[in-house]
Structure 1
Amino acid sequence: MKRIPIVLIIFRLLLGPVMIALTYRFGAAIRFELVVLMVLGLLSDIFDGIAARKAGVSSPQLRRMDSQTDLVFWLCVGWCSWLLNPEVILAYKIPITVVFVMEAMTYVVSIAKFGKETCTHALLSKLWGLTLLAVFVAIIGFSYGGWAMKTAVFFGLISHLDVFLIILLLPKWTYDVPSFYHAYLIRKGIPFKRNTLFHESE
């Protein structure tokens, strides 16, 4: 049981490059399989944290590894989308670029303030992950962006704003912060209860 979280994280870390290799090898003929693998990747992300908390092995190191694996995985899925349908990505190149810049800036600001990358696992970020799944299913499965892309961009923007506020409000580096409001509570020393389905309780 204690090994399950790290196995799921490593599975997701390896899955991204495998998806890219398959896309280069088979192209559009493997769209359905890529969608299945992407869903498996998301499920591994959901259950690694749950398994870690159930087994009592959740730690800052494991949560940081989980966050960085998420970044690698979704970048790989994005690259598969680009290989299959670059025109869909190019149609939204400006908002996508803004989201990429905001993602990079969260790292810059967090490292500048705390000496390490952000690891909030905020609720809005989790919601953004679901919209990423929707848009990549739309692109990879159906060569479509549309409302799914607009929704993903919107939640990408507001989730990064949330992370920026969390970083600015936290007095010291902390992982598993549900929102900027909870960061404010931490700053004021006000206790609150975390939902153990999503975050480690204290």
Structure 2
Amino acid sequence: MKTVPYVLIALRFILAPIILLLAYFQGEESRFLLLTLMYFGLLTDIFDGIVARKVGVSSEKLRRLDSQTDLIFWLSLGFASYILNPELIKNEWKGVILTLIMEALCYLISIWKFGKETCTHAFLSKMWGLSLLITFTYLIGFQQAGWAFYLTVGLGFIAHIDVILIILFLPKWQYDVPSSYYAWRIRNGKQRRKSIFFN
């Protein structure tokens, strides 16, 4: 059981190049399969952390690996969406650029302060991940952006601000911090109980 979280993360990592290859070589015919792989990838993301905490192997190494795999997985879906809907993505370039800038800022600020990438797995970031799921469902499955895309951009901006505040509030690098509120409490010497279902 202790290897299961690593297997789930590895599966999600392997999905990234498969998603890109399917989008590039099969194009329109790959849409349903891409959505299936996306939802399967989400399930691996949900259960890797739960299983890791349940069996007692939730370590810094595992959580950092999980975060970087998440980034690669969602980026592959972003590129796949562009391959399938180039004009649609180009029309929404401002939102895409804003999201990428905010993501980069989180990494840069964390590396500047702690010498490590961010690994908060914050609650708002998880909600943003679900909004990405909806957005890519619309983009890949229905060739639409609309409200789902704008929701993702807005929620992503808020979630990234929360992560930046977490980084700034924490006195030392720490993984699995639910929000900037908890980071502020940690800064003031207060700890919290952890759950196998969250972090």
TM-score (norm 1): 0.97
Identity across the alignment (%): 54
Give the structure 1 partner of residue 81 of structure 2: 81
- 1:170 counterpart residue number: 170
Tell me the distance in 2 between the aligned counterparts of 1:60 and 1:185.
21
Q: Does 1:24 align with 2:37?
A: no
Once the two structures are superposed, what CA deviation does each residue of 1:94-127 show, in whole Å capped at 9, x if it has no partner? 1210110111111111011001001000000000
* Aligned-partner residue type, residue 71 of structure 1: L
Query: What's 2:33 paired with?
Result: 33
1:62 alignment partner, SS class: helix
- Aligned-residue CA RMSD in angstroms? 0.8
Moved over 2 A (4+): 191-196
Partner amino acid for 1:158?
I
5+ residue gaps, structure 2, are: none
Q: State the alpha-carbon separation in 1 of the partners of residues 168 and 117 from structure 2.
A: 13
TM-superposed deviation, 1:196 = 2.8
Counterparts of 1:194 and 1:184, CA distance in 2: 17
Matched residues in 2 for 1:64 and 1:186: separation? 20
Question: Residue deviations 1:60-96, cap 9 Å, x none?
Answer: 0000000000000000000000000112211211121
Q: Distance in 2 between matches of 1:28 and 1:22?
A: 9
Deviation at 1:166, TM superposition (A): 0.2
TM-score (norm 2): 0.98
CA contact (8 A) 2:125 2:160 kept: yes
Alignment-mate amino acid for residue 9 of structure 2: I
1:190 aligns with 2:186: no
Confirm or deny: 8 A CA contact 2:162 2:179 kept in the other structure.
yes
Residue-pair matches, total = 199
1:57-72 mapped onto 2 (5 Å cutoff):
57-72=57-72
Matches within 5 A, 1:12-161: 12-161=12-161
- TM superposition shift of 1:190: 1.4
Contact 2:19 2:76 in 1 (8 A): yes
SS at match of 2:75: helix
Contact 2:54 2:196 in 1 (8 A): no
1:24 shift after superposition: 1.2
Pairwise CA distance, 1:191: 2.4
Distance of 2:89 and 2:158 partners within structure 1: 20
- CA distance in structure 2 between the partners assigned to 1:192 and 1:52 by the alignment: 19
